[in-house]
Structure formats: structure tokens, C-alpha cells
Structure 1
Amino acid sequence: MANKVKQIHEFGQSIWLDFIDREIISSGKLQKLIDEDGVRGVTSNPAIFEKAITSSSDYDTDIKEFGKTAKTTEELFFELAVKDIQAAADLFSGVYNGAVKGADGYVSLEVSPFLALDAEGTAKQAVELWEKVDRENVMIKIPGTKPGLKAIRESIAHGININVTLLFGLQRYEEVTEAYIAGLEDHLAAGHNIEHISSVASFFLSRIDVMVDPLLDEKGLGELKGEVAIASAKKAYEIYKRVFSSERWKALEAKGAKPQRLLWASTSSKNPAFKDTKYVEALIGPDTVDTVPLETIEAFRDHGIAADTLMLGLEQATETLQRVKAAGINLDEITQKLEDEGIDKFNKPFEKLLKAIEDQKNKA
């Protein structure tokens, strides 16, 4: 029987794993996901690393060793993370160097969440991490905050692959595409080639519905529960199609530029009433990425349905967002709140992680 996760790739979408730790790399499990499920990349974030490092003794030796030279606990964390990212990037080098070099096979490492509102600090650390990992197929993750836009443009202009994270709203997503295109133009104007630069824009899904669904009940729009995030994603894809078919884009494409793919994030169902593969099934389509937790990959392998769904129901998606707006639900305010909360959701585990590393380092 055909592998259902692998079938998604037939519709032009790449599945990336939203998880990393040393055990999955060293045990061969990650290689198995590449071989059997067709997984084509990995994303990480502070919360994932917090879980990996605090729930395992796999990092204890390196904490002791790196702790001798690291000036700060944050520096020590990045030493640990870079080692994992390099190992994963090496596993995906075959995918990266496939039929079309650079089409896939990326592993993402995020800048410090403490820098989410610091454009200068983010751009500086993006360069440092890019050089430290020293792999063609790494992506540095930068939050798509207002200050983040400047850092994204600067980083692309520096020739760095960027995964823009923490996107919830359509207007901000369009601003991110502008930052990417402007960054490519800057890199080209400085006399460099641009065909090696790759980027994704990570649009977060289920968190939108977690916040909007209770409001829908209050407004008598209960039948739209679980549909607003998907409708927003479909509208984001419309923006993607428009932006990356413009004359401005075609001029860059002629020089070898790759479109900045949309990446669906936060794809596990938070509401137990929803099918656990709901957000994956609804948004399968060409030139996109879906980063999926391990349990969702396993669920899809078992009972997911792979079909070309992304361009279906576009009129319905437009109508859903119009009805939400007409009911007085301000999605711009909600998506800004989600961005603010998202920063906090990465800051807290990062603080916990740094404390755990510090405690481990200080053990006799």
C-alpha cells in the first residue's frame, strides 16, 4: 500500500518534520522518515529544543564541554543546537542535492526569541548562526514581526536562507514577500548571484482557530469553527500566486531566483472535535511546505487523505472571512495578539531551557 505521507509530495507539497533531538538523528529514525515517508526537511524552535535538552541526558557531556568556553548560557545553548542542526543538515544533503539542487532538504534554526523585536540584533545573529552552522541547506528562522521585516530583508541581501516564522495575518504576510523580494534585489545590485538563496514564509494555522472559535460561538457563527485559519491560508496562497507572477518577480526569476514558498505551521489539531489531520488535508497544493509534528505524520500515515485541496473553495474562503468581519470580529487585532503571544510562547521555554542548561553545567 502506498505511503500516504509520501503521496502528498505528488501534489507538489513538501512535508518537513517539526521536531529535532539527538535521539531521532542518531537512532536512524529521521533517516527512516526521509526514506519511507518522503520527509524533506526539519524545523526547530526554542520550545522544541527546550523539550529535547531538558528531557534527555544526551546533551549532558556537551553541556560540560562547551560550558568551559561559552561566555554565556545562551552561547552554550547555540553550541548544542548548532551541533544538532549540522547533523540533521548532513542527513538531508541528499535531498538538497537532488534533481533540482536547493529545491528542498532544509533544516531551520531560530535566532534567539529575545530578539523578536530587535531588527539589528536579529540581523547580526542571523549572520553569526549562518556562518556557525556552515551548511548550504540551513535556514535561519526570523519572526515576521514589524522589526523582523528589516532583519529579513538584510539577511536575504546577505545571501542567507531565511525561514520567516510566526505569521498569522495576511497583511504581514504580504509585507514579508516584499522584504524577500527587496532583499534579493539588494543582493543582485551588490553584484552577487541569487539562485542559491531560498526562503519560506511560515503561516501559523491552528492557533488562529483556538482564538477565533469561541468568538464565533458568541456571534452565532458556530458552523465556521475550524474554518477561519484554513480560509486565511487559502487567501495567503492567492497573495503568493499574485506576488510571484508579477513583472517585478519575473525579472528576478530570470536571474535564477526561487519563489518564497508558503509553509503551513501549527498544523496539529488543538480541538479534539476536529480530525487530527484536518489542517494537513485542507491545504495540500503545489509549491508549498507543511511542517508537521511527528504524531501528525504518524496520524496521516495511518488515515490521512492526500488530495490537491489548496485551490478548492476559494470563494467560500473569501465568504468566511467576510462573514467574520461583518460579525465584528477584527482579525487584524487577533493576529497581532497571536504574534505577541507567540513571542511569549517562545520566550518562556527559552528562559526555562537556559536555566536548565545553567543548572546542568553547574552540577559537580
Structure 2
Amino acid sequence: MVTSKVKQIHDFGQSIWLDFIDRKIIFSGELKKLIEEDGLRGVTSNPAIFEKAISSSSDYDEDIAQLSKSDKTNEEIFFSIAVEDIKLACDLLAPVYNEEGVVGADGYVSLEVSPFLALDTQATIKQARELWRQVGKENVMIKIPGTESGLIAFETAISEGINVNVTLLFSLDRYKAVAEAYISGLEKRAADGLPVDHISSVASFFLSRIDILVDPFLDQKGLGDLRGQVAIASAKTAYQIYKRMFSTDRWKKLAEKGAVPQRLLWASTSSKDPAFKDTRYIEALIGPDTVNTIPMETLQAFRDHGDPASRLEEDIDGAAGILERIKVAGIDMDAVATQLEEEGIDKFSKPFQQLLDAIERQK
């Protein structure tokens, strides 16, 4: 039997997670099949994914009807439903999580806090604790947005032993701040005499949205030859930052206590420009100790015509050169990142509100 091209990616040290969840994929056995045949090693979700799952099927109608009889708010009803799906997915991925010799490396399922809390530190911390407790699985990750408010919540969650997927990262400076917060959170635990060897985190660096926003500016500046390259150049540069930050003497003190580095996760990896190959954000960034979370259609595309090979550290100087060229041209990547962060919060808040409205209609 020929090994799946998706599964071959794992040979290069990268884990593939699926950016999708619903009850059908769980109960039909499809998720289990993906784990076994494609080497799937995790699952991520977000409000838009759950909105689509709940609004486009009748799978959740009975649960909504039952929960509506309680005094739960629409948001509490949603999280009650979502938590049950996350638990089931966690159980399916438990064998991956418990693989001998790599406990805690993979097998995670991510559940996001309400996008309405993206700018509210204390409310984010409170909900992260609640969701962590409600799921009650070692291999769940709570998703917290990498906003300035979210950074504080993230560090607090890590210090309390909660696994976290930091989402909506678009800039190198913000990524550095996230890695710093992870290390600081672990140091707080260690200082209190608490274990750090069972905590895991990923930093989700978003890709295609960067190119969609930046490419028109490139055309205006006469840099059309760089179209579709800025996100990949940024990701390659972020990986070099990762290697530096998790090889310092400061980090080694934590590693001696069993701490594992916070891996970079490539997100928003479906190619949204038809001019480019649909697997480009997968192929270009395959490399060790990283994660790529991909939607179902991109996974199927890679299975069909992907080209697995380690490319993440190819032409690092060229990646730096691309970022320097756009800087010299006057394209402000900090402003780009700020806009994308704001748009990202909005892209998750709108479907979340639609989801709550759909629950209200079904009550």
C-alpha cells in the first residue's frame, strides 16, 4: 500500500492537523480514518467552523432543543454542544497523544474562547479556565487570540497549566511576544515548584491572509515579482526566531525540567489566489518541529498532488531579502498585521453571532 502523501509530511518532522470538526466526521469514522491513513495528528476549530457545522445540518437540533429547556444563554448552549464534540475528538486522538516517547507532542484538539472576548483579558482568562475544566481532557488546547489583551491571558493560562493555541498571529514582533509569554508563564510555574513537563502550546501564524492584503500593494510599488511570497518569507523568518528563542540558556533551564518548546503552527493555509498552486502553503513550509493545520479540501488536494519535502529552511537569506525589499518600498508590515488582526477578530465574531442567532431561532 502506497503511503499517503499527507502522512509522508510527518517523516520531515511536521505534524498535520485538520482545521475542521463536526459530528458527522466523528461518528462516520472519517476522522479515525484520517488519523490512521493520513497520519492526522490533531484538530483545530474556530467559531466559523462550528457555525457552519451547526447551521448546515440537523445533527445538533436535538441537543439545542434539550439545552433550551434550561436557563443557559445561547452562548452557554453553544459551548455545551462544542465541548461534547471536542471531548469525542480528544478521545479519538488520545492514542496519538499517548504515543510512547512523544507524550504531549501531538494529539491535540483546539477549542476557542468566544471571539467577543478578544480585547478583554480577564474575561478571556475566566472562560479559558471554564472550557479547560469542562472538556477535562489532557489533550485539549484552548485557543486564545494573540491580541495584546490575549497575550496576558495566554501567559496566565500557561502559568496555570492550561494548554493553549495562540491564534491570529500575523507579525514577527507579535510572534516574539507570544514566545516570550510562553517562556515567562512556564517560569512562573517553575518558580512556584509546579511541574512544566505536561504543558503544550502552539503559536498559530496565519499565512494566506497576509498575501491577499499585501499583494495589491506590491503591484502598486512595482514589486509584482514578490506576489504570493511575503507570507512564506515571514513564516521562514518566524521559524528562525523560534530556533533562537528555544535554544537560549534561559530556555534550557526549563527544558531540564521537562518543558517542551512552543511550536509554530501554520494556519490559513488554503491558497486563496487561483494563480497559485492550491498546496503551496503546505509544500513551502514543511520542516521539523512545526505544525500545519489545513482544511479538508487542502488535505485532499495534497493527498492527490502534493510534493512532500523539507523546505522550511531553504533560502533563508532570500526570505530576509523579500522582507527588506518591502520595507524599503514603504510597505508597513506592522500596519498590515494590525489590520489583519482586526479583520480576523471580525471574521470570527460575525459567524459566532450568526451561530447564536441560529440557536435562538431553533429554541
Task: Report if TM-score (shorter chain) is over 0.5.
Answer: yes
The 1-side partners of 2:263 and 2:312 are apart by 14
Which of 87, 109, 118 pairs up with 2:120?
118
Residue 68 (structure 1) aligns with = 69
The 2-side partners of 1:358 and 1:160 are apart by 31
RMSD over aligned CA atoms reads: 0.6
2:45 matches 1:44: yes
2:202 matches 1:203: no
Deviation at 1:2, TM superposition (A): 2.5
The 2-side partners of 1:2 and 1:43 are apart by 24
Residue 6 (structure 1) aligns with = 7
Task: Give the letter aligned to residue 27 of structure 2.
Answer: S
Residue 25 (structure 1) aligns with = 26
Which of 159, 168, 171 pairs up with 1:169?
171
Which of 268, 271, 292 pairs up with 2:270?
268
Which of 116, 131, 134 pairs up with 2:133?
131
The 1-side partners of 2:67 and 2:212 are apart by 40
Task: Give the letter aligned to residue 228 of structure 1.
Answer: V
Task: Give the letter aligned to residue 33 of structure 1.
Answer: L
The 1-side partners of 2:260 and 2:53 are apart by 33
For 1:245-256, what aligned pairs fall within 5 Å after superposition? 245-256=247-258
Residues 138-170 of structure 1, C-alpha deviations (whole Å, 9 max, x = no match): 000000000111000000011000000000000
Residues 244-272 of structure 1, C-alpha deviations (whole Å, 9 max, x = no match): 00110000000000100000000000000
Q: Which runs of no fewer than 5 residues in structure 2 stay unpaired?
A: none
Deviation at 1:66, TM superposition (A): 1.6
Task: Give the letter aligned to residue 343 of structure 2.
Answer: E
Aligned residues: 361
The 1-side partners of 2:245 and 2:189 are apart by 19
Deviation at 1:68, TM superposition (A): 1.9
Residue 242 (structure 1) aligns with = 244
For 1:238-317, what aligned pairs fall within 5 Å after superposition? 238-317=240-319
> 3-state DSSP class of the match of 2:291?
strand
Asked if structure 2 preserves the Cα contact closer than 8 Å seen for 1:70 and 1:76, the reply is no
The 1-side partners of 2:59 and 2:192 are apart by 44
Task: Give the letter aligned to residue 126 of structure 1.
Answer: A
The 1-side partners of 2:243 and 2:13 are apart by 14
> 3-state DSSP class of the match of 2:168?
strand
The 1-side partners of 2:44 and 2:120 are apart by 22
Deviation at 1:102, TM superposition (A): 1.1
Residue 349 (structure 1) aligns with = 351
Q: Which runs of no fewer than 5 residues in structure 1 stay unpaired?
A: none
Asked if structure 2 preserves the Cα contact closer than 8 Å seen for 1:139 and 1:162, the reply is yes
Residues 216-258 of structure 1, C-alpha deviations (whole Å, 9 max, x = no match): 0111111100000000000000100000001100000000001
Deviation at 1:101, TM superposition (A): 1.2
Asked if structure 2 preserves the Cα contact closer than 8 Å seen for 1:20 and 1:48, the reply is yes
The 2-side partners of 1:179 and 1:261 are apart by 13
The 1-side partners of 2:193 and 2:338 are apart by 37
Residue 341 (structure 2) aligns with = 339
